[in-house]
Each structure stands twice: as structure tokens, then as C-alpha cells.
Amino acid sequence: MDHLSYLFAAYSIIFVLIGLYVVFVSRRQTRLEREVTRLEGELRRFEQAQTPPEQHRSGI
């Protein structure tokens, strides 16, 4: 290997590793965002399911 390939290797490793890290973090971010919307939806459905009996009770 001549010196130029060492230089090339060093710089590409830096960019590849940082790039991989960014990809890894943003994939995790989208997964977590999806999870948050799912949980929020579930929570809302739960709350809607809870309210009718209460109205019923107050109606009596």
C-alpha cells in the first residue's frame, strides 16, 4: 500500500463510521416515533372507551 491509500483509508473510515451512526440513530428515531403515535392512539381509544359508562352513571 502506498501512502495515498493509507490517507484514503483513514478519511473514509471516519466518514463511514459517522454516517453509519447517523443512519442507526435516525432509524431508531423513526421506530420510536411510530411507537409513540401507536401508544398515543391506544391511549385515546382507551379514554374514549372509558367515558361512556361515566356518562351513563351520571345519567342515572
Partner 1 sequence: MKGAVSIALAAASCLSMIAALFMVFVYAPTEAEQGIVQRIFYFHLPCAWVAFLSFGIVAVAGALYLWLGHRIWDDLSYAAAELGMLFCTLVLVTGSIWAKPIWGTWWTWDSRLTTTFILWLLYGGYLLLRAFGEDNQEIARYAAVLGIIGVLDVPVIIISVRLWRTIHPAVLLTRQGEHGLQDPRMVAALLVSLGAFTLVFVWLLWLRLSTLRLRARIGGLRKELALLEVAGAGARR
Q: Given the rule CB under 8 A, which residues bind partner 1?
A: 1, 3-4, 6-7, 9-11, 13-14, 17-18, 21-22, 25-26, 28-29, 32-33, 35-36, 39-40, 42-43, 46-47, 49-50, 53
CB nearer to partner 1: pick between 10 and 60: 10
In angstroms, rounded to a whole number, what is the distance separating the alpha carbons of residues 51 and 45? 10
Q: Which residue has the cell 473514509?
A: 12
* Least distance to partner 1, CB of residue 34, Å: 10
Cα 6 to Cα 3, 12, 18, 50, distances in angstroms: 5, 10, 19, 66
